[in-house]
Structure 1
Amino acid sequence: MHAGPPYPHFDIEGHWEFILIGLSRFQAEYGIAAITVTTHGAAGALLDGSGTLAAPVLDYEYTGPDTLAADYNTLRPPFSETGSPRLSMGLNLGAQLHFQFATDPSLKDRVAAIVTYPQFWGYRLTGVLATDVTSLGCHTDLWNPYKGQFSSLPETLGLADKTAPARKPGDLLGPITAEIALRTGLPAATPVYCGIHDSNASLLPHLTAQEPPFSVVSTGTWVIAMAVGGKPVTLDPALDTLVNVNAFGDPVPSARFMGGREHDLALGESIVAASDADIAHILHARVMLLPALASDSGPFAGAQSRWIGGEPPLGTGRRTAAMGLYLALVTARCLALVGHQGPIIIEGPFAQNRTFLSMLGVATSSPIVPMGSATGTSQGAAQLIKGQSGPKSGYDAWPPPSDERRTLMQDYAAVWASETSRHVGR
């Protein structure tokens, strides 16, 4: 990451060199049959007529777009059109674009094409311009998930003719360029697929393997709860609910919070595993963290965290236990907001957190299915390649706690909900 100027932005050429070296090594050692790309959302790239960057790729945690929030808010489409909540910083890609063009009057003349971030790398590999529906449907304000087409915003911003065509993640972009083949040793006909937003990559294998209703919780820096075939609900953008768009172009009610960020803020670098005794102590003493450590987003946005029952010291299993319970209860709240029904599949690092898994099962009264691999995003991206299949259904559910532990967790969850309601005011 570069601090600037003109704003914090990604080290694109450093990333590109890393990608090319990786492709060369994988080709030499294993052979590569096809390429697909998955990245985080809330990012895009502005290309000039020669295909190079017309401006750096902005870091979505940069606060610059907030300085123009009042102007942008008059331009953006309503939630009813986009399913996209109004977020701070650059978390709405539309707000990024508005900021970039408003602060650099010459930029619009220099930009020939706008691509979403996974497709930027696809373009570097193939020379083919595209956006994809999952990245456009990731709270960008640029997509109408109900009609499966661009929202009114690109036209409002005067960018409709510059935004690359929207494609499905599994569409074939084309073969790699001759230059890439020469540089990496890959066969010249190596196909590159369009690419996908990371949380939707985690969702994809389960869409092809599970019968609805079910939910997938993708965990990492963001915890994204996605309900498939759940109860009808009215989404509230003030609670950071939104509509994601899956790999088939269908809308998916979703809610999210920065669970991984909160985990790291609470525990620091000295993480000690929670023992059964640690968990029991926290439950009996009702030591709990109220939301929110990362207060810019999530169902409790705007609230400032506090401990009740005493704050466990850093570097202790009791603090780890309390944090696992907290993350499960916020996740349960997210799932309720999107109408969750059925089993809950956990992707990513929280699938290894037994306190989280047990409390989430108790709080939602649902079977919890942790995925053993931490590479659900990679697996989903690989499944875009034609002929690849997802995992088989019939996953192993996490064992429920003992009756005594379940009762303790139920009581703890009830107290947490009551205290949180008083603390947050909703």
Structure 2
Amino acid sequence: MNVIAIFDIGKTNKKVFLFDENYRIVWEKSTNLAETTDEDGFPCEDINMLKNWILDQLTELKKLSEYKLRAINFSTYGASFVYVDEEGKVLTPLNNYLKPYPEVLKENFYAKYKGEKKFAVKTASPVLGSLNSGMQIYRLKEEKPEVFEKVKYCLHLPQYLSSLSTHQYFTDITSIGCHTSLWNYKKMRYHKWVSNEGIITKLPPIHNIEVTIKIENEISVGIGLHDSSSAIIPYTINFSEPFVLLSTGTWNISMNPFNDTALTPEELQKDCLCYLQYKQKPVKSARLFGGNEHEVQTKKIAKHFGLPEDFYKEVVYDKVIISSLRVSALKNYFSCQDQNKILRESTFERRNLNDFKNYDIAYHQLMLDLVAQQILSTQLVIHNSPVKKVFVDGGFSKNSIFMNLLAQAFPEMEVYAASMAQASALGAALAIHDRWNPKPIQNDLIDLKFYKH
């Protein structure tokens, strides 16, 4: 059986899948790798352990007699640079994008380049410190010039993992385009600071992600993609009518591939940003820390009512409870002028759990508060675009309260819960379809469930 292997590397879970020619998962394996610490004692990915795990899996996959490995690709979290020397040897720990960024360095940088607001608009990157991965390179150059001197290439994580098999080095547009502060979205090229600071020579050439490198005469290896950009590929392939994808997890990210209007300073303040699709088209997006908020507040409810932490999985949508809560809840949101405040913190944080007769009512209130935030976040990317459909994937797509409330909030839209096997892994496989798979791509890769408003 012809298969493609996809390494889907999250910060917590590391997975490898084999897809057959119909994009069904026929084999999978996952692991959690222990973190290490960097030179400052901050927790980070153990890049050597990850490298060894991937090489071990590749050795094992090639030995599986029932499968013929035709292709390999990678989908990984973004905002992570690996620095290699002439020999491809890693020079530093893989710095964590949550690592605090030095204030003085940040101030000096933005002072050089017309200030935070103008710079953020040009690069479609909210000012996020280490999450702007280009700023990680700048920090290395300023704080450790002797290490920077030895760097042959700065590689985003997917391209480094690909190079383990190909021994070739490339840059991928989806990784550059994910809030890195490297890309000038107005001119669709690197921002001038990348040349000014002597960094451009250390970024390998941009490579078309649909083009693979042949190894061992028969295996096509892709150069890898940023996971959020990869997750949208199955949708753009299956649906031509304009849509928004609301990808839910720790972060809820609303992505609109049909909105290429320039970001405003106000939108950037509300956590809007742009991703670049693999065909170099901007995807206007907005982030909300929704899954994290849900986790924090459900733990509080569980503790207050003496319940297991996953009690919410048994709570089903109750329109009578919603009706009784709604009268005050949503009206208050939309009469509130400070939308920034609503986006930053859920009203539930300030609620007194003693006000709720039972956990059912408390949980419905939490979901009303969360969806009120989600409406504002998603509207930022729908505004002024022809979108008529909203697809929700990830954890919240299975939450009947969230889905019903969202459908009611967008009565002019068709709202669907979408499910498929591993969206970012599937996207990475589809990106190089023509290089390994003789069959046409099927149009039933995504299961949809419609929610009436």
AA at the equivalent of 2:376: R
The 8 Å contact of residues 267 and 320 in structure 1, kept in 2 or not, is answered as yes
The equivalent of 2:408 in structure 1 is 362
2:377 to 312, 323, 334: 334
AA at the equivalent of 1:384: A
> Does residue 171 in structure 1 map to residue 214 in structure 2?
no
Alpha-carbon distance, 1:56 to partner: 1.2
TM-score normalised to structure 1 length: 0.80
The equivalent of 2:82 in structure 1 is 45
> Does residue 94 in structure 1 map to residue 128 in structure 2?
no
> For 1:167, what is the secondary structure of its paired residue?
coil
Distance in 1 between residues matched to 2:341 and 2:243, nearest whole Å: 21
AA at the equivalent of 2:377: C
Distance in 2 between residues matched to 1:55 and 1:305, nearest whole Å: 42
The 8 Å contact of residues 175 and 226 in structure 2, kept in 1 or not, is answered as yes
Distance in 2 between residues matched to 1:218 and 1:189, nearest whole Å: 35
The equivalent of 1:72 in structure 2 is 109
Cα gap change, 1:353/1:394 in structure 2, threshold over 3 Å: closer, same or farther? closer
Distance in 2 between residues matched to 1:68 and 1:214, nearest whole Å: 40
The equivalent of 2:8 in structure 1 is none
The equivalent of 2:124 in structure 1 is 83
1:138 to 178, 184, 190: 178
Greater Cα shift, 91-100 or 61-70: 61-70
> Does residue 258 in structure 1 map to residue 289 in structure 2?
yes
Distance in 2 between residues matched to 1:390 and 1:71, nearest whole Å: 52
Cα gap change, 1:230/1:140 in structure 2, threshold over 3 Å: closer, same or farther? closer
> Does residue 396 in structure 1 map to residue 448 in structure 2?
yes
Cα gap change, 1:300/1:51 in structure 2, threshold over 3 Å: closer, same or farther? farther
Higher strand share: 2
AA at the equivalent of 1:82: T
Cα gap change, 1:279/1:53 in structure 2, threshold over 3 Å: closer, same or farther? farther
1:122 to 136, 158, 162: 162
RMSD: 3.0
Distance in 2 between residues matched to 1:26 and 1:264, nearest whole Å: 36
Alpha-carbon distance, 1:398 to partner: 2.1
The 8 Å contact of residues 132 and 168 in structure 1, kept in 2 or not, is answered as yes
> For 1:99, what is the secondary structure of its paired residue?
helix
Greater Cα shift, 78-87 or 42-51: 78-87
> Does residue 157 in structure 1 map to residue 197 in structure 2?
yes
AA at the equivalent of 1:400: K
Cα gap change, 1:153/1:212 in structure 2, threshold over 3 Å: closer, same or farther? farther
**Uncovered stretches (5+) of structure 2, i.e. residues with no partner:** 1-34, 300-307, 334-339
The equivalent of 1:311 in structure 2 is 353
> Does residue 5 in structure 1 map to residue 39 in structure 2?
yes
Cα gap change, 1:231/1:194 in structure 2, threshold over 3 Å: closer, same or farther? closer
1:36 to 45, 61, 73: 73
Deviations 1:244-287 (A, max 9, x none): 11121101111112222222222348111253476743652459
> Does residue 206 in structure 1 map to residue 245 in structure 2?
no
Distance in 2 between residues matched to 1:4 and 1:300, nearest whole Å: 36
Structure 2 counterparts to residues 382-393 of structure 1, below 5 A: 382-387=429-434, 389=441, 391-392=443-444
Distance in 1 between residues matched to 2:89 and 2:142, nearest whole Å: 21
The 8 Å contact of residues 347 and 369 in structure 2, kept in 1 or not, is answered as no
The 8 Å contact of residues 85 and 153 in structure 2, kept in 1 or not, is answered as yes
Alpha-carbon distance, 1:327 to partner: 3.5
**Uncovered stretches (5+) of structure 1, i.e. residues with no partner:** 177-186, 292-297, 402-426
Distance in 2 between residues matched to 1:303 and 1:323, nearest whole Å: 12
> For 2:88, what is the secondary structure of its paired residue?
coil
Distance in 1 between residues matched to 2:275 and 2:190, nearest whole Å: 14
The 8 Å contact of residues 213 and 229 in structure 1, kept in 2 or not, is answered as yes
Cα gap change, 1:66/1:127 in structure 2, threshold over 3 Å: closer, same or farther? farther
Alpha-carbon distance, 1:188 to partner: 5.2
Alpha-carbon distance, 1:126 to partner: 0.9
Greater Cα shift, 158-167 or 264-273: 264-273
2:96 to 59, 80, 89: 59
AA at the equivalent of 2:80: A
> For 1:396, what is the secondary structure of its paired residue?
strand
The equivalent of 2:9 in structure 1 is none
Cα gap change, 1:255/1:277 in structure 2, threshold over 3 Å: closer, same or farther? closer
> For 2:44, what is the secondary structure of its paired residue?
coil
Deviations 1:209-236 (A, max 9, x none): 2123211112222221111324957542
> Does residue 19 in structure 1 map to residue 48 in structure 2?
no
The equivalent of 1:106 in structure 2 is 146
The 8 Å contact of residues 78 and 178 in structure 2, kept in 1 or not, is answered as yes
Alpha-carbon distance, 1:201 to partner: 0.9
How many residue pairs align between the two structures? 382
Cα gap change, 1:171/1:325 in structure 2, threshold over 3 Å: closer, same or farther? farther
> Does residue 325 in structure 1 map to residue 368 in structure 2?
yes
The equivalent of 2:247 in structure 1 is 218
Distance in 2 between residues matched to 1:310 and 1:54, nearest whole Å: 51
1:249 to 276, 280, 286: 280
Distance in 2 between residues matched to 1:91 and 1:205, nearest whole Å: 26
1:351 to 397, 405, 423: 397
The 8 Å contact of residues 168 and 249 in structure 1, kept in 2 or not, is answered as no
AA at the equivalent of 1:57: L
> For 2:284, what is the secondary structure of its paired residue?
strand
TM-score normalised to structure 2 length: 0.76
The 8 Å contact of residues 279 and 322 in structure 1, kept in 2 or not, is answered as no
Cα gap change, 1:31/1:266 in structure 2, threshold over 3 Å: closer, same or farther? farther
AA at the equivalent of 1:17: N
Identity among equivalent positions (%) equals 24
The 8 Å contact of residues 122 and 195 in structure 1, kept in 2 or not, is answered as yes
Alpha-carbon distance, 1:136 to partner: 0.4
AA at the equivalent of 2:373: V
